[in-house]
Structure formats: structure tokens, C-alpha cells
Amino acid sequence: MSLDGKLGPIRKGLLEFLILKIISADKVYVADMLKRLSDTEFATQEGTLYPLLSKMRRERKYYKLTAKGKSQLAELNEYWKQINATIDELGN
């Protein structure tokens, strides 16, 4: 299995995390999300983003975090901190 194949599920999960972070700031259109991601390793296209957004909230043209979304983002932030601490601890 290639490195890309192994990292695909991680990237998909992190993309959802990043979308939650982008949405947490304010209402945002899909084009704005794509632009924010475009200069990162998470650059993606509408064909990838729309199914993810549909999963998060059906049939909206702009997105804003609900209380449940904010809670999920807080959990993901904490988990991300734990992952970073583990990586740093095991690192170099």
C-alpha cells in the first residue's frame, strides 16, 4: 500500500476538522472554503467538498456551526492536541 493510500483516511478526517474550523468563524460559502484550503495540502475540489458538507448538513448553500458542531469541533481540537503531543513526545 502506498503512503497516499495509508494517509487517505487521515486526510479525510482532517479535512472535516478543517472545514469545522473554517465554519466556526462565521457563515461561509463553499467557494470561500475552497479558497481557504487552496494553498494548503488540503486543497480540494467541489466534488470532494460537497459530499462532506452534505454529510455535515443537508441542502444548505452556506454553513454555520450548530451547538453540536461546536461541541464536535471542541472534541476534535482536544484530540488534535493529544495527537500533536504524542508525535512531539515520540519525535526526533
Question: 24 CB contacts (<8 Å, ≥6 apart)?
Answer: 65, 69, 70, 73
Lowest mean pLDDT among 40-44, 50-54, 66-70, 88-92: 88-92
Extract long-range pairs of 64-71: CB within 8 Å, 24+ residues apart: 64/23, 64/26, 64/27, 64/28, 65/20, 65/23, 65/24, 69/20, 69/23, 69/24, 70/24
Residue closest to 62 by CA, chosen among 33, 42, 21: 33
**pLDDT tens profile 5-46:** 777 778 888 888 899 889 888 888 999 999 999 998 888 888
Longest dimension (CA), the chain: 45
The domain segmentation of the chain, as residue ranges, is: 3-90
Task: Give yes or no for residue 58 having a pLDDT over 70.
Answer: no
**pLDDT tens profile 67-85:** 998 999 999 999 999 999 9
What phi and psi values does residue 23 have, to the nearest 5 degrees?
-70, -30
Structural class in CATH, domain 3-90: mainly alpha
